[in-house]
Amino acid sequence: MDRETLSELLLARKYQEAMDLVKKRHGNLRILLGLLYSEEELLRWRAVTLLGLVAAEGSTDLAPAVRRLLWFLNEESSTVGWCSAQAIAEIYRNNPGMARDAIRAVLHLSDDEEVSLPANRNTPILAGSVWAIGALAEDEPALVSEMGPALVKFLEDPEPVIRGFSAWALGRMRFAAAKEGLGKLTGDEAVISLYEGDALTNISVARAAGDALEKIRKNDE
Amino acid sequence: MSDTPMIDQLETGPWPSFIKDIKRMAAKNAMCKDLLGLLEMSYKDKKTHWKHGGIVGVRGYGGGIIGRYSDSPEKFPNVSHFHTVRVNQPSAWFYNTGALRYLCDLWEKHGSGLTNLHGSTGDFIMLGTTTDHLEDIFTDLSEHGWDLGGSGSDVRTPSCCNGMARCEFACYDTMNLCYDLTNEYQDELHRPAFPYKFKFKMSGCPNDCVASIARSDCSIIGTWRDDIQQDNAAITEYAKGGKVDIANDVVAKCPTGCMSWDGSKLSIDNKNCNRCMHCINVMPKALRPGKDKGAMILLGAKAPIVQGALLSSVLVPFIKMEPPYEEFKDLIRRIWEFWDEHGENRERIGEMIVRIGKGNFVEEVGLEPTPAMIKEPRSNPYIFYEEYFDEE
């Protein structure tokens, strides 16, 4: 298998065929991990999805890959795990045992000054962590609830992707204390690209905030 | 009085000083001025003021940029970020002046202007830029036919000696192989997915001018499997010329004692030659590597990080090394497959071989064990043969 074949299968949503290829030979898993760095945004996300499906299927132990992905988020690794956070979250969501040791570190990247402070800011990595919180919010509310206050602060972040992902995640968390902050974003027309299900959608931060408020209100009722 | 009295002393030694270079650049670059201040503070405080790394890069690639932040951005704001960019060097570091001028101009535009030629992996190293410049640097480099090198858990930028371009001892075309591997393994080079780093270094002969045996996970060292080519007339010339004492300078220094000299004739027991290159280096006009040339593949060198330093040891004693290098690439595929599956996080391949045993490794990558798979010449065979125990 080569990178192009796997890429085509993922873009065509042929997940079963892609999974069969990945399971066929261990080196193919490495190719899948390589797609997490792809320049093509949809392809990176679909690689995240496929890793989740491989985890759910269970026959391939992804724990070593998770350790590798976590190391790529370490500031000493000289690697940039652009989609490491999302991949670990998706693996955890589908098979918690494979990523149990890593998931808290991923969710707490927003507490990590190497990633989040303005002087050291790495917006894509931080956005990945925020997305991971949102992705796990409905299945693992207890795990992510402590990140609510941090996400509320991010609603004022200068980067639209951080504001938008935070709004989306807070909605999925039904985090009532975020209502005021979300309300301030109703006029924020900056557009972000959000991956949900297995599709990328361009939405405004205002729309993400509005949807989040709607979810919180429904939850309050 | 100077603002930097301690680092000024570094200029007073007998060697060319990097402080002098930085000062020269500081006249026109604010980063370099702050760099001097930060360095002075480090000497004064007896500790580094660089933090231990950073997560930065360009989209599409997982490596090539080494993040560096200082812990004193308030005092020295111009070096609050001081990231390193690794640029994939041409095979054997052949540049023309136009190429060097372009790289230096680019770096004066986007960074400190300070360079390091070359890094230990071989890359053209650009020292000191800020995060907001990275994508522009990458775009500019790409548009001019350059690429980033490797960093992190990927294939590091392959490097080689100048081989057949300049050296008559080269037993294969190192520059061609280096270029071929760099292109073949683009995905592995730019998208880290290994347990840890993996370095290829290529030397055209056992002189190993790029020190591949000490500095690469996979050393590819040129060798030959027939007899040393011997020009007896030239040997006589060396003997008559008086510059070479063949008995003492050549024969007595042969590490395996496979040579003899009766005052007029040099005899070599080629079966016992271990390709040390000494005799060939001393009498290059008279002795040359054999005609049946190729390379030996060694695995496992590394500097001490997680564990202590290792030298590479022989995995394949001889392989023909000619394009398209399919036999070699197939071996590498099997090696990576096994290491990828069984290597622990941050475990170099040499460390894994030590952990699991060379015999097991050889079997897993589908090679037949031979006595030539050695750690060093004439010692330490790794493999205990079952037949040996059967005889006991």
Q: Which of residues 340-379 of B touch A (CB under 8 A)?
A: 340-341, 344-346
Q: Which residues of A touch B55 (CB under 8 A)?
A: 73, 75, 80-81, 114-115, 122, 125
Radius of gyration (Cα) for chain A, nearest Å? 17
Radius of gyration (Cα) for chain B, nearest Å? 25
**Does B190 contact A at CB distance below 8 Å?**
yes
Average pLDDT over residues B210-226: 96
Q: Is the pLDDT of residue B121 over 90?
A: no
Which of A37, A76, A119 minimises the CB distance to B52? A76
Average pLDDT over residues B357-367: 92
Which of A26, A115, A120 minimises the CB distance to B340? A26
The neighbouring-strand residues paired with B220 are: B202, B297
Average pLDDT over residues A42-55: 97
Range name among B98-102, B192-196, B302-306, B342-346 with the lowest pLDDT average: B302-306
The minimum CA-CA distance between A10 and chain B, rounded to whole Å, is 17
Which pLDDT does position B25 carry in this prediction? 95
Q: Which residues of A touch B195 (CB under 8 A)?
A: 64, 68
The minimum CA-CA distance between B391 and chain A, rounded to whole Å, is 39
pLDDT tens digit sequence for A99-127? 999 999 999 988 877 677 777 778 899 99
**What's the ipTM?**
0.89
**Does A30 contact B at CB distance below 8 Å?**
yes
The minimum CA-CA distance between A219 and chain B, rounded to whole Å, is 38
**Per-residue confidence at B51, pLDDT binned at 50, 70, 90?**
confident
CB B205 within 8 A of CB B198: no
Distance in Å from the first CA to the final CA of chain B: 79
**Does B119 contact A at CB distance below 8 Å?**
no
Q: Which residues of A touch B344 (CB under 8 A)?
A: 64
Which of A26, A39, A79 minimises the CB distance to B59? A39
With residue B179 as reference, give the H or E element that holds it: helix B174-184
* Per-chain mean pLDDT for chain B: 93
Which of B63, B187, B345 minimises the CB distance to A79? B63
CB contact under 8 A, B193 and A77: no
User: Among residues of chain B, what percentage have pLDDT more than 90?
Assistant: 85
Which pLDDT does position A146 carry in this prediction? 93
Q: Domain residue spans in chain A?
A: 141-221
Q: Is the pLDDT of residue A155 over 60?
A: yes
**Does A15 contact B at CB distance below 8 Å?**
no
Q: Which residues of B touch A125 (CB under 8 A)?
A: 55
pLDDT tens digit sequence for A61-100? 899 999 999 999 987 778 889 999 999 999 999 999 999 9
What is the per-residue burial (b if ≥16 Cβ within 10 Å, else e) of B264-291? eebebeeeebebbbbbbebbeebbbbbe
**A122: phi then psi, degrees, rounded to nearest 5:** -125, 95
Which pLDDT does position B392 carry in this prediction? 47
pLDDT tens digit sequence for B146-181? 999 999 999 999 999 999 999 999 999 999 999 999
The minimum CA-CA distance between A76 and chain B, rounded to whole Å, is 5
For residue B342, whether the previous peptide bond is cis, meaning omega lies within 30 degrees of 0, is no
Q: Where are the alpha helices (DSSP H) in chain A?
A: 3-11, 15-24, 26-34, 41-57, 63-71, 84-94, 96-107, 113-116, 123-137, 141-144, 148-154, 160-173, 179-183, 205-220
Q: Closest residue of A to B188, CA-based?
A: A34
pTM here? 0.92
CB contact under 8 A, B69 and A25: no
Q: Which residues of B touch A124 (CB under 8 A)?
A: 59
What Cα–Cα distance (Å) separates residue B198 from each residue in A37, A107, B307? 18, 30, 16
Task: Name the CATH topology of A141-221.
Answer: Leucine-rich Repeat Variant (1.25.10)
Which of A29, A79, A124 minimises the CB distance to B151? A79
Count A/B contacts: CB-CB distance under 8 Å: 107
Q: Is the pLDDT of residue B354 over 80?
A: yes
Q: Which residues of B touch A39 (CB under 8 A)?
A: 59-60
Q: Which residues of B touch A61 (CB under 8 A)?
A: none
CB contact under 8 A, A124 and B59: yes
Q: Is the pLDDT of residue B204 over 70?
A: yes
Which pLDDT does position A79 carry in this prediction? 87
Which of A26, A38, A114 minimises the CB distance to B60? A38
User: Among residues of chain A, what percentage have pLDDT more than 70?
Assistant: 99
**Per-residue confidence at B385, pLDDT binned at 50, 70, 90?**
low
Which pLDDT does position B281 carry in this prediction? 97
CB contact under 8 A, A39 and B69: no
CB contact under 8 A, B194 and A30: yes
**Does B62 contact A at CB distance below 8 Å?**
yes
**Per-residue confidence at B376, pLDDT binned at 50, 70, 90?**
low
**B1: exposed, middle or buried (Cβ count in 10 Å: 0-12, 13-18, 19+):** exposed
- Taking the C-alpha atoms of residue A217 and residue A208, their distance in angstroms, rounded to an integer, is 14
CB contact under 8 A, A125 and B61: no
Chain B contact probe: residue of A29, A45, A78 with most B CBs at under 10 A: A78
Average pLDDT over residues B271-284: 96
The minimum CA-CA distance between A44 and chain B, rounded to whole Å, is 10
